[in-house]
């Protein structure tokens, strides 16, 4: 089956509205634009602007308008093609997570803020799923990914060469560490975001090489790898070889238990290296011998601050998107105000999940984003090899869940890694569901 998500071949349900086709140019234009926006939509930010230090409760008007416009366009395309194609995504782990997130909005300390930010997440999820349905075939999907990648890469390189004050970190950046000066960020707001997208584009390059064009694919891999080195993004550079090693071994170890251990073992290991370095003295002592900074960039203060606040509201959490970069956090009265109060997120997606959704929410995140995708992978492969599209989804998913120990990338609809992780989870779900139906 050549469809990007193997969902186009499903028969419409009885009584369903007859689906209509979309011209290829509309499919490519919609998916290409969506990918570019999901990867980055705030180009060439001026990080010396001191207004960036203010609380961000109102959000970005540009972000809101872009996501709303694209959301309406994608909703129209999905309606035309047939909403029944999305039915396999209504799995109980995803529905349970969505339901609990909705409940925590009502218990949020800032309900209206949670609603606004949850709407962005829902639109991002729809866009991530819609890409898979709108793509007519694996080849069209691959070529659209390649074109969108070049739209990101070419301006990023040109920015470093022609407008370095907008594409390279400087000592005058108000929200960046002074040690970041000279590191590339291209069209992105921060070097870590640029590094994460470059890793994504490397995965895209390998998929393009396997599905459409070796020349274009390898060109993307080389360009993205070169820019990644320029960012010196520690999380991206550290996780990239792990992703390749583990996903390659998944081709060798096809048994359910071994493959599950292979995939979830590193997730637990990275969590232990990060959080364990702060809260488990034996782990910290061991890591101090081999690593100068187990948190990679001194995130331990943020994690301690976050855990203290998780314990204040362990059941319902503070509410989706209602903690970091709010007046409550940034300007709260206290004995000591530090740089931690101005953190944009918790630099750990699992901690942030517990902080926003409480411990039950964290459990559902682990179920929907870790356990269910591994189960779907096993159903897709069933002891067989891994095809290029499944490998792309596997790499995108695995990169996100191990990066989650150092970046907040699982519940942030305004983050490229989160959006690609959702696309990967949805892609694995669609392919697994179609295989079961076809069988």
The predicted-structure confidence for 176-204, as pLDDT tens digits, reads as follows 667 788 999 999 999 999 999 999 999 99
Instruction: Enter the tokens of residue 288.
Output: 């101090």
List pLDDT tens digits, range 303-324: 888 888 999 999 999 999 888 8
CA-nearest of 183, 162, 190 to 227 is 183
Q: Which domain holds residue 305?
A: 24-49+57-438
Separation CA 77–CA 211 (nearest Å): 25
At 53 the pLDDT is 52
At 411 the pLDDT is 94
Lowest mean pLDDT among 224-228, 229-233, 247-251, 275-279: 275-279
Separation CA 399–CA 402 (nearest Å): 6
Has residue 233 been placed in a domain?
Answer: yes
Sequence-distant contacts of 248-252: CB under 8 A, at least 24 apart: 250/377, 250/386, 250/394, 251/385, 251/386
- Is 90 exceeded by the pLDDT of residue 54? no
Question: H-type helices in 163-253, by residue range?
Answer: 164-167, 191-211, 214-231, 234-252
Torsion of CA 119, 112, 366, 324, to 10 degrees: 110
CA-nearest of 238, 158, 236 to 192 is 236
Has residue 19 been placed in a domain?
Answer: no
Burial class (CB in 10 A: 0-12, 13-18, 19+), 207: buried
Has residue 3 been placed in a domain?
Answer: no
Has residue 120 been placed in a domain?
Answer: yes
At 1 the pLDDT is 38
At 253 the pLDDT is 85
Has residue 374 been placed in a domain?
Answer: yes
- Is 90 exceeded by the pLDDT of residue 51? no
Lowest mean pLDDT among 188-192, 224-228, 304-308, 399-403: 304-308
Separation CA 433–CA 29 (nearest Å): 27
Q: What is the mean pLDDT of residues 79-98?
A: 94
- Is 50 exceeded by the pLDDT of residue 355? yes
At 13 the pLDDT is 45
Separation CA 324–CA 345 (nearest Å): 6
pLDDT, averaged across the chain: 86
Separation CA 366–CA 161 (nearest Å): 42
Domain count, the chain: 1
List pLDDT tens digits, range 117-176: 999 999 999 999 999 999 999 999 999 999 999 999 999 999 999 999 899 988 877 666
pLDDT tier at 3, thresholds 50, 70, 90: very low
pLDDT tier at 218, thresholds 50, 70, 90: very high
List pLDDT tens digits, range 260-286: 999 999 999 888 888 877 777 776 666
Has residue 331 been placed in a domain?
Answer: yes
Residue 21: its H or E element:
none
The residue that leads in pLDDT, 208 or 62, is: 208
pLDDT tier at 61, thresholds 50, 70, 90: confident
The residue that leads in pLDDT, 331 or 371, is: 371
- Is 60 exceeded by the pLDDT of residue 52? no
- Is 70 exceeded by the pLDDT of residue 240? yes
Q: Are 124 and 418 in contact (CB under 8 A)?
A: yes
The residue that leads in pLDDT, 38 or 58, is: 38
Instruction: Enter the tokens of residue 366.
Output: 């682990």
Q: What is the mean pLDDT of residues 231-242?
A: 93
Q: Are 277 and 284 in contact (CB under 8 A)?
A: yes
Separation CA 264–CA 377 (nearest Å): 13
- Is 80 exceeded by the pLDDT of residue 378? yes
Has residue 16 been placed in a domain?
Answer: no
């Amino acid at each position: 089956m050549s469809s990007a998500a193997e969902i186009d071949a499903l028969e419409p349900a009885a009584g369903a509205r007859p689906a209509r086709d979309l011209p290829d140019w509309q499919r490519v234009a919609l998916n290409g634009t969506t990918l570019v926006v999901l990867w980055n939509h705030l180009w060439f930010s001026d990080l010396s602007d001191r207004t960036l230090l203010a609380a961000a409760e109102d959000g970005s008007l540009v972000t809101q308008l872009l996501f709303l416009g694209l959301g309406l366009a994608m909703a129209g395309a999905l309606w035309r093609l047939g909403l029944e194609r999305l039915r396999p995504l209504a799995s109980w782990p995803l529905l349970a997570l969505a339901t609990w997130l909705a409940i925590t909005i009502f218990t949020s300390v800032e309900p209206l803020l949670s609603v606004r930010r949850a709407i962005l997440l829902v639109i991002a999820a729809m866009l991530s799923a819609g890409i898979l349905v709108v793509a007519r075939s694996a080849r069209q999907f691959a070529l659209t990914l390649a074109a969108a990648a070049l739209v990101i890469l070419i301006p990023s390189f040109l920015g470093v060469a022609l407008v370095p004050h907008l594409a390279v970190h400087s000592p005058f950046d108000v929200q960046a560490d002074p040690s970041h000066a000279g590191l590339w960020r291209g069209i992105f707001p921060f070097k870590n975001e640029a590094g994460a997208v470059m890793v994504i584009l490397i995965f895209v390059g390998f998929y393009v090489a396997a599905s459409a064009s070796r020349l274009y694919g390898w060109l993307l891999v080389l360009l993205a790898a070169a820019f990644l080195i320029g960012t010196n993004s520690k999380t991206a550079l550290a996780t990239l070889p792990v992703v390749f090693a583990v996903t390659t071994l998944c081709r060798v170890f096809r048994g359910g238990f071994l493959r599950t251990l292979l995939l979830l073992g590193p997730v637990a290991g990275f969590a232990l290296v990060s959080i364990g370095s702060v809260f488990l003295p034996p782990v910290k002592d061991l890591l101090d011998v081999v690593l100068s900074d187990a948190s990679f960039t001194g995130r331990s203060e943020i994690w301690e601050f976050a855990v203290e606040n998780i314990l204040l509201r362990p059941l319902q959490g503070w509410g989706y998107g209602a903690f970091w970069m709010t007046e409550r956090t940034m300007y709260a009265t206290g004995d000591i105000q530090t740089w931690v109060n101005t953190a944009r997120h918790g630099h750990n997606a699992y901690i942030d999940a517990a902080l926003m959704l409480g411990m039950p929410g964290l459990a559902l995140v682990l179920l929907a984003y870790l356990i269910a995708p591994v189960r779907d992978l096993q159903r897709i492969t069933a002891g067989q090899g891994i095809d290029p599209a499944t490998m792309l989804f596997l790499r995108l998913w695995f990169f996100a869940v191990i990066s989650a120990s150092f970046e907040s990338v699982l519940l942030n609809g305004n983050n490229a890694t989160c959006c690609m992780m959702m696309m990967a989870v949805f892609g694995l779900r669609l392919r697994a569901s179609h295989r079961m139906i076809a069988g």
